[in-house]
Structure 1
Amino acid sequence: MSGRKETVLDLAKFVDKGVQVKLTGGRQVTGTLKGYDQLLNLVLDGAIEFLRDPDDPLKTTDQTRSLGLIICRGTAVMLVSPTDGTDEIANPFNQPDGA
């Protein structure tokens, strides 16, 4: 057995590819993953942040702002997903009003 710890996430396959990152506090950014470490600190290039709805801070809007090259601190990273090959689907558990 080697002394190297295996990480749960294998981010090597996402390097130089687009990823979407959700952070604690509700922030959400997309960009090209340029690097990472064992603490899940991420380096994103061409990062774009999706701005939150002022009425409901838990929802994002279509408004964005360009951030450029950023570092996401690993303790703030909640979710990392590829931007290619994912689609948003309707919530199957959402009940229509009046049901």
Structure 2
Amino acid sequence: MQHSGRKETVLDLAKFIDKGVQVKLTGGRQVMGTLKGYDQLLNLVLDEAIEFLRDPDDPLKTTDQTRRLGLIICRGTAVMLVSPTDGTEEIQNPFIQPDGA
């Protein structure tokens, strides 16, 4: 039986190495850091990682509070979304109705 090289991941994360990424994890946790490495199971190594703390009243919402984590590993089974921090910015939701409208 022949091996056809290493298994390719769906995501090509090589272009994000040493760049800032934001990672959403199952359960609502969200972290941001510098991608230092990954494997085909999507385990991610992030340096200078920061976790966005969640709203105690609504665990699916993040607050402006953060917590420094340093060097971390995100388990591939928990990773839902990986997005670059460069070129993305948060905007006001244009669909929210002003109060009293």
TM-score > 0.5, shorter chain as reference: yes
Question: What displacement does 1:3 show?
Answer: 4.2
TM superposition score normalised by structure 2: 0.86
Cα distance in structure 2, aligned partners of 1:23 and 1:9:
16
Determine if contact 2:23/2:80 at 8 Å carries over to the other structure. yes
Which runs of no fewer than 5 residues in structure 1 stay unpaired? none
Which runs of no fewer than 5 residues in structure 2 stay unpaired? none
Question: What displacement does 1:71 show?
Answer: 0.3
Report sequence identity in percent: 93
Q: 2:86 aligns with which of 79, 84, 92?
A: 84
Cα distance in structure 1, aligned partners of 2:94 and 2:33:
29
Residue aligning to 1:25 = 27
Determine if contact 2:7/2:40 at 8 Å carries over to the other structure. no
| Count, aligned residues | 98
Instruction: Please provide the CA RMSD for this pair.
Output: 1.8
TM superposition score normalised by structure 1: 0.87
Question: What displacement does 1:8 show?
Answer: 1.4
Determine if contact 2:8/2:40 at 8 Å carries over to the other structure. no
1:1-99 aligned within 5 A: 2-91=4-93, 94=96
